[in-house]
Amino acid sequence: MLKRRILINLLVIVMAFSFTSCINIVEKVFFKKNGSGTYTMTLDMSKVANMLTMFGEDEMTEMEDAMNGMNEGFEQAKAKLEGVTGISNINQEMDKKTLTYTMAFDFRDVDALNDGLNRYFANEDDNGEYTYFTSKKKQFTRTSMDRFSKALNEEMASSEDSHFDPAILMGDAYFESILIFEKDIKSHSNTDYKKDGNRKISLKKFFFNKISEGKSLAVTVKTK
């Protein structure tokens, strides 16, 4: 799951300022035909940045503290990636003006990709070894593993306010998986994924909106 410090500070930003529809997490994976590629994750709170002019000094101080806490957590997570075999070209950027965080790295194969993601998201509560992706010849699979939704739901469930309904505050917050391939796509198994051109599919899954009930990130893609 997300590192607890990052998650808590993320929720502080959302709940303290009553932001709705302001959190988008986008996973983008580019697969080369040999199984290597590039993984990019973006945490986008740019809509929050557009609202900052409404706040006073106290609110801005709280926002700054939360952002600093998130940045510290991201730096610790990045350090874990640097020791993973098969992971290279690690790049991390935190833009405090647009409130956008981006992390990207190259992977040698899907085993390295899975190892990197497990190390990146590991924390004191969850050091499990999860499989996010598999590949075999011209077939690539994104599993149903969704630690983002799991982490958010667990944190919300542990909230002191048992009457809090996250759907009211974060109904339009979503996680999006974008899969891009070097070769043309022949077929993909999950019809909830939308095809864009010949080499790209994507699925948007809302965290707390019933529109995404039953949707899964799992998909198997066959390339030509």
Q: How confident is the model at residue 1 (pLDDT cuts 50, 70, 90)?
A: very low
Give the separation between CA 214 and CA 187, rounded to whole angstroms: 21
Which of 47-56, 128-137, 145-154 comes out lowest in average pLDDT? 47-56
66, 9 Cβ separation under 8 angstroms = yes
- Tokens of residue 80, six digits: 């874990």
Choose between 94 and 150: higher pLDDT: 94
pLDDT given at position 222:
97
Flag whether pLDDT at 3 surpasses 50: no
Tally of domains within the chain: 1
Flag whether pLDDT at 144 surpasses 90: yes
Q: Where are the beta strands (DSSP E) in the chain?
A: 24-31, 37-44, 87-95, 100-107, 133-136, 139-142, 174-181, 185-188, 194-195, 200-206, 219-223
- Residue 165: give the domain boundaries: 4-223
pLDDT given at position 28:
97
User: Tokens 């557009």 — which residue?
Assistant: 50
Give the separation between CA 18 and CA 105, rounded to whole angstroms: 33
pLDDT given at position 17:
43
92, 103 Cβ separation under 8 angstroms = yes
Q: Mean pLDDT over residues 28-51, rounded? A: 85
Flag whether pLDDT at 146 surpasses 80: yes
Flag whether pLDDT at 148 surpasses 80: no
Share of the chain above pLDDT 90, in %: 43
Q: How confident is the model at residue 215 (pLDDT cuts 50, 70, 90)?
A: very high
* Strand, coil or helix: 166: helix
Q: How confident is the model at residue 71 (pLDDT cuts 50, 70, 90)?
A: confident
pLDDT given at position 18:
43
pTM for this predicted structure: 0.81
Choose between 43 and 176: higher pLDDT: 176
Give the separation between CA 24 and CA 45, rounded to whole angstroms: 7
